[in-house]
Structures are given as C-alpha cells and as structure tokens.
Amino acid sequence: MTLDLIEIKPKLNIKKVVLISIILILIISLISTSIFFIIFNYNKKLSLVESKILDKNKAVHELYFSDNVKQEKLLNEITHIYSSDYKRVFLTFDDGPSKSVTIPILDILRQNNIKATFFVLGSNAERYPEIVKRAYQEGHYIANHGFTHVYGNIYSSAQAVIDEYNRTETAIKNAIGDQTYNSRLFRFPGGSIGGKYNDIKTEAINLLNQNNIAHLDWNALTADAAGLSNVDDMINYAESTIGNKNSVVILMHDTGTKKETYELLPELIKRLQEKGYAFENIYDLLK
C-alpha cells in the first residue's frame, strides 16, 4: 500500500511539472514576442521618419539630375549666379565637416530656418559622415570641394581634379546613404582662377563642363581663412565685400578651428535680413 502511494505520487508530480513548464514557456514566449514587437515597431517608426526625410530630398535630387536638361540648367544658373533682379544671398561653407564648427552652424541655420550650401572635403566627409547626412537631411545642399585640399596633389593635373571630385562624390554618397546622389557642383580649393596652377584649373574647368559638372567661386567673404580672427572685423569685412550686390555668394569655412564662423553667423544673418536679402541655396536655383 505504501509502495503504491509512492508510485502514484511521482506520476502526479511529473504531470504537474510538465503542465507548469508548458504554462511558463507560453508566458515567457508571450512576453518575449511582445517585447520584440515593441522594439521592432519603435525602430521601424524611427527608420520610417528617417527615410521619409531622405526620400524628400532624394525626390528633389532625382528631379534635378536625372536628365540632361536639369544638368544643363544647373550649369546655366551657376554661370549667371551673380545676377539677379532681387536681393539674394547664398551662405557657403568650405572645408568641413567638423564636429566643433559644422554642428553649431547647423544649429544656427535650423533656428533661423535658412538653407545653406556645404562644399565638403571628401576626407572630412569620410571622417564625419553623420554630419554630412544631417546637413543633407536638413535641406542643405551638399557640394564638392575635392578630397585632399593639398594643392600639390589636386592640381598635379586636370585629371587629378576630376579624380578628387569623384572620390569626394563617393564619400558624399556613402555619408548620406544614397548611391544615386550627384552634387554636380565643385568648388576649386583656392578658387578657380589665377595662381600658380591657373593652366591646370582652366583645363579642369573644361573637363568638368564636358561632364555637366558646374563650378562656383564667391563674390563676398568673411576672410576667416585670410587673416581676420576678430568677429566684428569679419562681419564688417563681409559687409564691405557684399556692398550693393544684388546676388551674393559668401565664402566661409567650417573646419574645426574656425569657431569665429559660427560665432559671427547670427549677427551676419541679422544684418543680411535687415538689408532685405533672401537666403537661398543651390536647390532654389533649380526651381
């Protein structure tokens, strides 16, 4: 009798254990599935927001650059950029991106709802792709300033200019995560005219034109790369170079050491607004 009881007891226990285990497994599965779906949906939401912004700019870019007509329009508009029947200003930033200067500039531009043009260096775009991506997503135009900025390299031949252009375009595409992006806009380090490498620059301009790639210099500057370091002096210098021009392309720099560039930006924007300038970027040229 005692033996029987002993035999029955474990049988009941095994059933209980199996039942409890099944219930536990079901509960754990239910909880893990719920957690998985919560995380999955959260990420999905985030990436949807991100891709929405990207798609918006992508659509703009495809519209502008998928056909030769638009490419020719860019070349034509850039050729005539200094003439306009209303007051407009293009804020342009060269040599970035950098963490210490480009990020505060992007913050100021966002606060003022201004879209600018960034002529990025390929080497810096590779170093800080997330900043290039942010600038692009916030509606700024990402253009090309070559890869090395070393005159001896980029101006060793006209083909070297094209090679640096292509290498930088690849860095931009990778940074913004869109392999179809083409800026089709180059700024020559040191400007497109004059200096020791003038002949090579002229040859490179022809090569760029043959490939429907525009190039742009500037007609005003803060002289942030040419000796001035006092913010007030730089704003005054910018104003003197702007003068009475109707269409202004201002050269500034967003390398890591040029903190004056973002320090002067709010005041410069204020003065330009007071003078009645509309802030535009390259996308506006193609509307």
Of all residues in the shown chain, the one whose CB is closest to Zn ion is 94
- In this structure, what is the dihedral angle of CA atoms 49, 93, 88, 214, given to the nearest 10 degrees? -90
Nearest residue (CB) to Zn ion, 154 versus 158: 154
Nearest residue (CB) to Zn ion, 64 versus 218: 218
Dist CA 3 CA 1 (whole Å):
5
Nearest residue (CB) to Zn ion, 122 versus 277: 122
Q: Which of 97, 119, 160 is nearest to 250 (CA)?
A: 119
> Using the rule CB under 5 A, is 224 a contact of Zn ion?
no
Task: Give backbone dihedrals phi and psi of 157, rounded to 5 degrees, phi first.
Answer: -165, 165
**Amino acid letter, residue 56:** K
State the minimum distance, in angstroms, from the CB of residue 255 to Zn ion.
8
State the minimum distance, in angstroms, from the CB of residue 189 to Zn ion.
5
Query: Given the rule CB under 5 A, which of 95-103, 160-168, 206-214, 236-244 is the region that contacts Zn ion?
Result: 95-103
Among 78, 81, 88, 95, binds Zn ion (CB under 5 A): 95
Q: Which of 105, 155, 161, 109 is nearest to 128 (CA)?
A: 105
Among 94, 169, 224, 254, binds Zn ion (CB under 5 A): 94
Nearest residue (CB) to Zn ion, 93 versus 277: 93
Pairing assessment for the beta strands 247-253 and 141-144 based on DSSP bridges: unpaired
Dist CA 258 CA 229 (whole Å):
9
Site string for Zn ion, 185-204 (x = CB under 5 A): ----x---------------
Site of interaction with Zn ion (CB under 5 A)? 94-95, 189
